[in-house]
Amino acid sequence: MQEMKHEQVVFCNDPHTGLMAMIAIHNTVLGPALGGTRMWVYPNENDALIDVLRLSRGMTYKAAISGLNLGGGKAVIIGDSRTLKSEALMRRFGGFVDSLGGKYITAEDVGMTTRDMEYIHMETDHVVGIPESLGGGGDPSPVTAYGVYMGMKAAAKKAYGSDSLSGKKVVVQGAGNVGGYLVDLLMKEDAKVSIADIFEDKLNNITSKHSSVTVIDPHLVDDHDMDIYAPCALGATLNDTSIPKLKCQIVAGAANNQLAEEDRHGQMLLDRGIIYAPDFLINAGGLINCYSELEGYNQERAMNHAENIYETTSNVLDKSASDKVSAQTVAKQMAEDRIEQIAGIHRSL
């Protein structure tokens, strides 16, 4: 907590329902800490703690650089989402969220569904990502994909002098929710899109809609001849093995924590002349969607807000090029500067 500067970590235990959870509040200078709950089978409690500490810090950066009045937080529930879930467990977790009095607002993440959010909502108002039928924002993926697309276009402008993606060879790794919406946007612009996934049905969902999209082996993404690599599956795909192999000018995708080691791998991309659009900046559409829910949900407003990702990405990439510092470092510094400035206002009030 001291190393990463967290404000508070809460451990939740309820033997009756089998709930074991952790809620990490990283920073609330800009507003309440908002971040999803991840349900995952962690090998041990220490791994769960490290995950929740890292993820909550990432949410602080994401909210700050997106101009949102939100802090960073995240929760993890330890256990198998396919077997441990029950109404009672989710409602008990909702009770723990409620006990923080609005300092932490939860949402969906890996292993959680809008149905779970409904149960949590029975015990607390401090939850977003509830279904549209209940006044929520529903699936945030279309807004996330739009923000990634904006970030990709800003990176294209930097690399090619034009932000048109027409004719550009784009590999979308991960044909899931965000990947699917991203392909729709890329196809509208006549990009040459290839997709990779470990599940056939996910690939078919996209190829049945877009017959010119080609499929590549998920193990051969790093070796593929492409202009733009869009990681939209899991994190840490930018690492010591992949970066030296990459044949692209741009990396811009939705996955969280793409750089296995933030500083070192961010620098490796810069040294190789590959333009990297920082993940927490360009995948903020989902958080922007949640924020809109707090104000009374309006998807058009969320989309308009996500459009700002273009300008912020341009500014980050310009500074990265002029200062010869990785885009990840520049983006983190911008987020920290905003927090420091607002903290300054609060101190002087």
Interacting residues toward ligand NAD by CB under 6 A: 140-141, 144, 173-179, 196-199, 202, 218, 232-234, 254-256, 283, 286
Coil, helix or strand for 251?
A: strand
By C-beta, is 183 or 330 nearer to ligand NAD?
A: 183
Residue 53, both tokens: 């500490």
Considering the complex, state which of residue 283 and residue 320 has its C-beta at the smaller distance from ligand NAD: 283
Q: How far is the CB of 200 from ligand NAD (least distance, A)?
A: 10
Q: Residue 69: how many CB atoms within 10 A of its CB?
A: 13
Q: Which residue has the tokens 């920073």?
A: 27
CB of 178 to ligand NAD, least distance (A): 4
74 assigned to active site: yes
Point out the catalytic residue in the list 74, 103, 153, 332: 74
Closest CA to 215 of 190, 192, 195, 186: 195
- In whole angstroms, the minimum distance from the beta carbon of 271 to ligand NAD comes to 25
Three-state SS for 244?
Answer: coil
Q: How far is the CB of 138 from ligand NAD (least distance, A)?
A: 11
Token couple for 245: 């192999």
Sequence-ordered list of residues with C-beta below 8 angstroms from that of 46, at least 6 positions apart, any chain: none
CA distance 289 to 305: 9
Output 48 or 96, the one with its CB closest to ligand NAD.
48
The string of DSSP letters for 3-44 reads TTT-SEEEEEEETTTTEEEEEEEEE-SSSSEE--EEEE--SS
Could you tell me the smallest distance in angstroms from the CB atom of residue 64 to ligand NAD?
16
**Residue 76 vs 255, nearer CB to ligand NAD:** 255
* Dist CA 112 CA 135 (whole Å): 19
In the complex, minimum distance from the CB of residue 32 to ligand NAD, in angstroms, rounded to a whole number: 19
Angle between helices 285-294 and 299-307 (to 10 degrees): 140
Residues 6+ apart with CB under 8 A from 221: 171, 173, 196, 229, 237
Q: In Å, what is the CA distance from 89 to each residue of 32, 46, 104, 109, 250?
A: 24, 22, 18, 16, 43
Active site residue ranges: 74
